[in-house]
Structure 1
Amino acid sequence: MIPSHVDVKHLKALTAVLQRAKTCDGQLEQRNIWYEGSPSNHPSKLLDELKTLKAHRETLLRLRKSLEKRISTLQGPCNVVTRQTGIKTLPSEILSQIFVFFCDSYGRGRPAVHLSHVCRQFRHLALQTAAL
């Protein structure tokens, strides 16, 4: 299990990484955004860079876990709002045009009848739409 605390020092380092990514317009392959300055092949520098990159990864994992938890918390209420508003908020004129387009492109059977069986609003609108 990943702890929920993030070290501020690591957040500052990641902020610098994001700033470097921003300066190259998100083109991450243009330069190495993970460190400042030019790379070194000295073994001690490589070990330091590896340690830093692993710390970045750990911080990003913790941030991701926090983000996923927040998304999960919001998903349920947002689904309810979407269901409550959704297509029912469209004006009848627009929904009627959608029905006509659907029926014209469906091409087989009796699509207007199928639409009228969805709900009361659809039935009423299908009966009111002369083009169907």
Structure 2
Amino acid sequence: MIEDTREAIRQRIERFSALLTARDPAIVDEIWSPGFRLVGSEPGEIADSREALVHLFGKLFARPVRYGFDFATFAVEANGETAWLFAEGDLMATGADATDRFPYRLTAVFVRSGDGWRWRLFSGSEPAKPFAG
């Protein structure tokens, strides 16, 4: 059962990344449901309504780079109708000449619904450099 859940959520993340890279506005409908919240890694990247998601992705898609994810760690746990993900790897920023990779962590919560696993929370972070003090 957990392997089915893990695979279903991996597919949701892969679809999210593909839509993000393609700058496809369908990304909003892919993740939006009432009660959803996105908290990105940059200041101001918070969206808790469909309109806020449209605005946020519009700003991201206007940048000169395309984003996508490559996660090396992908851990899913589930309890009943709720599943949560911790993924760690890289945020890829692809420009005209090169792709840069930045460390990235994603924590996400999903709830099972009639059409599979629906997003409830996206919380992303870019790990800070170790404290030198």
The TM tier, using the shorter chain, reads under 0.3
Bigger Rg, which one: 1
Give the alignment's TM-score, normalised by structure 1.
Answer: 0.20
Give the alignment's TM-score, normalised by structure 2.
Answer: 0.20
More strand by share: 2
More helix by share: 1
